[in-house]
A and B are shown apart, each in its own frame.
Chain A
Amino acid sequence: MAESIQTQDRKLRTEEMVIQMGPQHPSTHGVLRLEVTVEGEIVTHVKPYIGYLHRCFEKHAEQMGNYSQVIPYVDRMDYVAAMSMEWSYVLGMERMLGIQVPERVEYIRVIMAELQRIASHTIAIGTFGLDLGAFTPFLFLLRDREMILEIFERTCGARLLYNYFWIGGLSHDVPLDFVDSTRQFCTQFKKTIVEVNNLLSYNEIFIKRTANVGILPANVAINYAASGPVLRGSGVDWDLRRDDHYSIYNRFDWQPQIGKGERGTLGDCWDRYIVRCREMEQSVKIIEQAIEQLPDGDVQSAIPKRIRPNASEIYIRTEAPRGELGFYIVSDGSGSPYRVKGRSSSFVNLSVLPEITRGYMIADLVAILGSIDIVLGEIDR
């Protein structure tokens, strides 16, 4: 559809108009501002402006008294997936210190991270539907997200920013009803996925709106260092959970999901969307297996009271719901980090936006932005 618009008679050109989309626009998913140049309804240029939510995370991390105090700040990066944020930082510190965490911790971390991935993806695809005008799937998904948040709340007392993964283990063991309530969630959520697929994924209007829109070819995605569902939506089989061998993901039976261009072109909005949908199914699968195998034991390994890594540096990356989350941690041998650099997936993924929105309509711009699924807390840090 976009090509036919682009190749229209040049005489039909109207005056270009610059619109400020955001920071208070309903579909910019936070305080993002897009400077959109439009010709009638056609977008000719998009320029994202970020920084409205900058909270000096990296500087704060340097100023903390010790390494553990950074964790609550890490939570606040991607506040929709705080567990996954913590895991990356904590894993980096454990590698730096050479700590082996107990088996039980690994299992609980996998379960928590996958629950968090589902919670994050429910927001992602729910708001994506909302961007396209479908309100009901959003509320169905939020209802199930509530079950996850309740599990988290019973575990660590917080609903959004957990401070649950600690260096060398976890802050608490899971509550007694954890296994039951997680199983109950899995049963319920499988039904919801079917419901959402019927209502949204295979809806004719939805497919018309998302297929062949915002096509991100695999080579462009790789050149821009996109990661997570955005990269996999373009058909690149790259999932750090499998390819980076961290934690115990190799013990479970699951498959990274990639886009196949089923309804349109490979790498369109529908592919990115369906990758998230299918990833949720895979996450349920992982959780069910992990909950079966959950061993007994301690949730905290012996770590020194005052964490002082030797002067060294490490880059650690994990597969957060939005893609590769990396931390570059430099230690100078003192009690607090010398430098913590966050490599946020949303920031990198957002950079492809001007590339893939050119020539589409304003309505498509909203859809493309929704399919990239950004969290401004992670972009601005």
Chain B
Amino acid sequence: MDKFLTDILGSEIFAYIIIAILPLLFIVPYALFAVWLERKLSAFMQDRLGPMYTGGWHGWAQTVADIIKLIQKEDIVPSAANKKLHLIAPFLVFVGSYAAFAAIPFSSEYIGSHLNLGVFFIIAVSSLVVVGLLMAGWAANNKWSLLGAMRAAAQIVSYEIPIALALLAVIMIAQTLNLQEINQMQSGWFWNWFIFAKFPFVFLAFLIYFVASLAEVNRTPFDIPEAESELVAGYHTEYTGMKFAMFFLAEYANMFAVSAIAAAVFLGGWNSPFGDFMSGPIWGVFWFVTKGMFFIVVQMWLRWTLPRTRVDQLMYISWKVLTPWAFVCIFAIGLWMVLQ
């Protein structure tokens, strides 16, 4: 699709800008929908109704109204804050999550950038989020923010290791870091998906990836950087209006990014689960988004079911449970491949 765009627009800088903006056209409506979905889903789980009035049908316009409200809000910067960093931080966090979309293959015909190192790029660029969070927590000059930022930095840095190792297990089978090629290898029926390859080791790697990705995006049971009952609101305590909305948008964008990687690497990405049934570039987008949304619903389901872990337990899970088991996966898959 980007070829098609460069064909009609030429290799002008504008063509690249348009290609770069395309994911944004997805993220913003998606985030609005996901926030509404989370409210409805939590309401369903908690025997409530959730938003019902705004916009008519089941309060569909509630999040739109919220965003309009947030845009109008006064932007309050604490007088003791470091104003520059305080301003940059939310955008840096969003950049970190948004850049990951460049390498996510939405369909066989559309990917932001044909990177040979797609997986590597996503892992690397999502680390940028940590810098933004640390910056936000430190610049606000609030002790709660600082504690939240320290927790976030420790957590995200720790959990990148099991994530990278779990993905490495699949990359060993695929022999490539290009996400588009990884997806092509999984075409056909759903048993060709990598999650079922070298059973049960890739499945184990998938579980490790999923648990670690919950921590990576600060979702319950690992939402300790913004644990509202402990740290008020964590690193975004001192943010108001649109800057706060940027954190929110980044969080939901990040949720989709990690779900998309899970879908692309383990669940066949844009491939139809049923061979040639409903396959093709357009259906590809449908399957890809459906698989991504499935993981997002699971994330929400966990959030409204489980309590939160503690900082030291979180580190324990990362370093003493997930990382060793990820190594076991890599070792077992490697051995399997050598013996074959």
Question: Using an 8 Å CB-CB cutoff, how does the interface string of B129-149 with A read, 1 for contact, 0 for none?
Answer: 000000000000001100100
* Complex: chain B residue closest to A200, CB-CB: B307
Chain A positions near chain B (C-beta within 8 angstroms): 1, 5, 17, 19, 25-27, 40-41, 129-136, 139-140, 143, 199-200, 203, 205-206, 208-209, 361-364, 366
Chain B positions near chain A (C-beta within 8 angstroms): 42, 45-48, 143-144, 147, 150-151, 220-221, 223-224, 227-232, 304-313
| A199-B151 Cα distance, complex, nearest whole Å | 27
- Which chain A residues lie closer than 8 Å to B228 at the CB level? 26
| Min CB gap B214→A, angstroms | 12
Contact call B47/A26, Cβ cutoff below 8 A: no
Give 13 A-B pairs besides A205-B307, A205-B308 with Cβ atoms closer than 8 angstroms. A1-B312, A17-B143, A26-B232, A41-B147, A131-B229, A132-B307, A133-B227, A136-B42, A139-B47, A143-B47, A203-B307, A205-B306, A209-B307
Contact call B143/A364, Cβ cutoff below 8 A: no
Among A40, A129, A135, A366, the residue within 8 A (CB) of B230 is A366
Among A1, A26, A143, A206, the residue within 8 A (CB) of B307 is A206
Given A26-B232, A363-B230, verify A133-B307 contact (CB < 8 Å): yes
Interface centre among A140, A361, A362, A366 (most CB of B within 10 A): A362
Contact call B311/A133, Cβ cutoff below 8 A: no
| Min CB gap A332→B, angstroms | 48
| A50-B232 Cα distance, complex, nearest whole Å | 20
| Min CB gap A274→B, angstroms | 15
Q: List 10 A-B contacts (CB under 8 A).
A: A26-B229, A133-B307, A134-B306, A134-B308, A135-B42, A139-B47, A205-B309, A209-B307, A362-B230, A363-B224
Among B229, B304, B312, the residue within 8 A (CB) of A366 is B229
The A interface, classified by DSSP as helix, strand, loop or mixed, is helix
| Min CB gap A129→B, angstroms | 7
* Complex: chain B residue closest to A27, CB-CB: B229
* Complex: chain A residue closest to B220, CB-CB: A133
Contact call A361/B312, Cβ cutoff below 8 A: yes
- Which chain A residues lie closer than 8 Å to B223 at the CB level? 133
| A26-B231 Cα distance, complex, nearest whole Å | 9
| Min CB gap B218→A, angstroms | 12
- Which chain A residues lie closer than 8 Å to B312 at the CB level? 1, 5, 361
| A363-B151 Cα distance, complex, nearest whole Å | 12
- Which chain B residues lie closer than 8 Å to A205 at the CB level? 221, 306-309
* Complex: chain A residue closest to B305, CB-CB: A136
- Which chain B residues lie closer than 8 Å to A199 at the CB level? 305
| A46-B178 Cα distance, complex, nearest whole Å | 53
| A166-B151 Cα distance, complex, nearest whole Å | 53
| Min CB gap B121→A, angstroms | 33
| A206-B45 Cα distance, complex, nearest whole Å | 19
| Min CB gap A110→B, angstroms | 30
- Which chain A residues lie closer than 8 Å to B221 at the CB level? 133, 205
